[in-house]
Chains A and B, each alone.
Chain A
Amino acid sequence: MTDIEEGSNTLWSKIEPLLAHVERPSRYINGEYGVPHLPLSQSSQVQLNVGLCYPAAYELGQSNQALHVLYDQASRVEGVRVQRTFLPGEDMATLLKEQQLSLFTLEDCTAVNKLDVLGITLPFELCFPAVLEILDLSGLPVRAADRTADMPLVIVGGPAAYNPEPIAPFVDAVFLGEADGGALSDILIALRDLQASDTSPSRQMQMEALAQIPGVYVPCLFDSGVQAEPIMRRVAHDFHSADFTPACLMVPYAELIHDRLTVEVRRGCTRGCRFCQAGITYRPVRERSADSIVAAAVTGIERTGFDEVSLTSLSTTDYSLIEEVLQRLKRRFAGTGVSVSIPSLRVDNFSIDLVRILADRGTGASKKSSLTFAPEAGSQRLRDVINKGVTDQQLLDTVAYAFENGWTRVKLYFMIGLPTETDEDVTAIGDLVKQVLHTARENVNPSKRGSVQISVSVSTFVPKAHTPFQWEPQLLPEETLRRQKILQGAIPRKGIKLSWHDASGSFIEGLVARGGREIAPLIEEVWRSAQGAVAYVDNFDFDYWETAANNLNVNLESLINNRLDSQDSLPWSHLHAGVSTDWLLDEAAAARNEQFTPDCAFDTCSNCDVCDNLNVDIHLADDTVRAGARHD
């Protein structure tokens, strides 16, 4: 056999001639190593055709770890055929529109509109117009109310689903939480069984079946009062205990953004940064055992042939046995050219041993690569407000260690616009950066002093739903620009590479992140007036949003939910991330009082209520770490 068998529904013969006219045609050809092949003889046993979609190009979507886990889990459900689809390149999208062809799945090259279910990950708020473009390219009406029962059910989930109201009119259901560990199978089994009991179930029946499943929010049933209780986020209870090496490990041909094997070592981070949504929505901390991580990395490399494995989590250096795992993998991969990497480092637990392991050949963290730290704020006062328990001295000591040990580059992340920030706090970022530069130059090998490079990346604070700062105002673009100017003056020009997020991009992100249903028409107009082009821009383009606002005759600044009151009902009040509102308010008060809340993974419980509400416990790979901690 030299090619994939072509089923009767395949669009391949129409897509193939287009491939000579598009960039990176390998995005569309399927057939990567590890993708399960469904023989035509078995296609009649498929009861539910499911598409998993990431609303960005293949090389970004295929890098997404969650997509692999969900694909693997869905493919284990009997009677379910799972396939992938991504936002095509703009060149391909234009050709599809010209030829009136639907967006297609990779595996069977069938039209997306022929699927039973389309699951879309929402990685961040600004991808919402891309979701509309995907629906439109698939020949589907963008509004859920206009879609009929013979069209796929559109279910979204992922990090940006915690305030889904701005996108609610376009989707049928929203999943809240971790879909591995049983939730995805619950959804697919419910829909499959419904299909089996009634070959053409009505949309209402499908929605009602979904509404029964914990963690699933069905906006139209909530609106009509059928679904009433707040929807509680779900966790994967077996995260730390399950055998997690996926059965299908896909190895792409095309170069991905993150082109490596990933092994998730830890879920949750309870450091408690008060601006951080992921710190809330993945609570509590659960760690996999060192043995299972080493086994997953070794078998994963053997089965895929990747030359790098990345140990991922929200904060990998917090993993309680990180040094042991790195040493074991380093020994195992010695002489093979396979490297081990970790995505980011923390200032406060960056041990000298870790520096040594990472600096060693064979762990992949080449000294030429950059070290990344996120102090977030320049002054100690503001770091106390945001609960970033890091001191200037810790940062400088870490930089000294690293530069002594051969590194020559470091990247620092800061935020402006954090609650209570003054101009002095902004200037303090410049002071800290100067000290870092000085320390780096003092400690680096004198022959390399010229190659010392400090990169400083500054984003603008965007208050996010479900965090202690969810009620806080955000900067309007004009004020952001003023503070960026102050910062520019405070940062030395020589030896520092300064970059920042576009002020208007953060403004729109905030508008969508805390918006309600009223934002939906704006998103639709942005997509419609840009004729889909907004979905393909690599960098944020404010013009699309301004044009759409003008078309709708609305003022963008009037749409922003900037003065929220703790007594008000919020657009996401019916969705529960597991933490209690009282705890969020306590944390907001602690921020104003510059009080520190310790990390419950290593210290006492701060009573956020997640463990009780979700019936889950902290689980560390090294039990002894929590020996002294009290868990109320």
Chain B
Amino acid sequence: MTNPTLFRLRIAYAKQGRGRFLSHLEVQRYLTRLVRRSGLPYAVSQGFNPQMRLATGPALSVAAAGKREYCDLTLMTYVKPMDALRCLNEVQTDYLPVLDAAYVGTKEPSLNAAICAQAICATIEDAFADISADVQPEELAQQLQAGLAALQARDTLEVELKDKTKVFDSAMHVPKDIDVVTKGSALQIGLTLRISPQGSLRPDALLAALFRAADLPAPDIGSVKLQRTALYLDDGEGGLRLPL
């Protein structure tokens, strides 16, 4: 049952710089400590071991940055969003700065249930190092687009995990298009992936499959910088909207 006297504050924050090496659990731990430092009147759960009522959005993997991530914090009293933002900003670290805060209805579905898509930008430093020196940037882009078309043509996409193989429906999970931009020796790939409770295709798995389908050597994971640039909710009319 929803308590009518509680308030749900949606907070947008970034995961950046060296902070990209934090795990989702570490980010969650950071957020609860941040809230406690901020002095905001957070609500706690019932039970013998009361916990702060704070729920984060979909996990971002270790080494991936996030331009605008979200969490929902339940407050016991109303605090103006600008004041809440100021309190949080005063006690944050450079790796996980808070960007924005606004109230959402307490009856709205949770972030994890509502978020249905993510936009990813992958930057590969020295992308041409492992590829034949005479490949031109335009050719590389074309090759990757051809790789994407090959993935789309398949019914399914198989991804090897540690102890099992996961099969994704290509029509649902392989992006319709990708943006490929070259900047000097770096390559930037932008794409949007679906997030669903039944399973989401990880950006690094899609990239590996894309390079393989394009007949290109997979880049070293240490040279790929992944950034999630946006998370989206279903707007109920077949389109996407931002959570905040």
Contacts and interface: CB of A to CB of B under 8 A. Distances in A.
A399 interface: no
Interface in B1-54: 16-19, 21-23, 25-27, 29-30, 32-37, 39, 44, 48-52
Given A20-B63, A366-B48, A26 B23 contact: yes
Given A251-B33, A305-B32, A20 B93 contact: no
Q: Of residues B34, B37, B223, B224, which shows the largest number of chain A Cβ atoms within 10 Å of its Cβ?
A: B37
B113 to A, nearest CB: 24
B172 interface: no
A291 interface: no
Interface stretch (A27-35, A202-210, A323-331): A27-35
A468 to B, nearest CB: 43
Q: Of residues A25, A253, A254, A368, which shows the largest number of chain B Cβ atoms within 10 Å of its Cβ?
A: A253
A337 B51 CA distance: 6
B95 A337 contact: no
A19 B222 contact: yes
Contacts of A25: 21, 62-63
Nearest to A259: B29
Interface string B85-128: 00000011111000000000000000000000000000000000
Q: Of residues B16, B30, B36, which shows the largest number of chain A Cβ atoms within 10 Å of its Cβ?
A: B36
Contact of B37 (A32, A253, A254, A304): A304
A510 B94 CA distance: 47
B36 A307 contact: yes
B221 interface: yes
Given A1-B94, A4-B94, A361-B48, A302 B37 contact: yes
Contacts of B27: 253
Contacts of B51: 337
Where chain A touches its partner, the secondary structure class is loop
Nearest to B36: A305
B130 to A, nearest CB: 14
A41 interface: no
A255 interface: yes
A262 to B, nearest CB: 15
Nearest to B35: A305
B222 A20 contact: yes
B222 A3 contact: no
A251 B32 CA distance: 12
Contacts of A24: 23
Contact of B93 (A19, A32, A336, A366): A32
Nearest to A25: B21
A44 interface: no
A335 B44 contact: yes
Contact of B26 (A19, A254, A307, A338): A254
Nearest to A35: B93
Given A306-B33, A336-B36, A337-B50, 8 more contacts: A20-B222, A21-B222, A29-B18, A31-B93, A33-B92, A302-B37, A335-B50, A337-B52
Interface of A: 1-4, 16-21, 24-26, 28-33, 251, 253-255, 301-307, 335-338, 361, 366-368
What are the 9 A-B residue pairs with the smallest beta carbon separation, nearest first? A305-B33, A3-B17, A305-B36, A17-B222, A305-B37, A25-B21, A29-B18, A20-B222, A337-B44
10 contacts: A2-B94, A3-B94, A4-B17, A4-B18, A26-B26, A32-B93, A33-B37, A336-B44, A337-B50, A337-B52
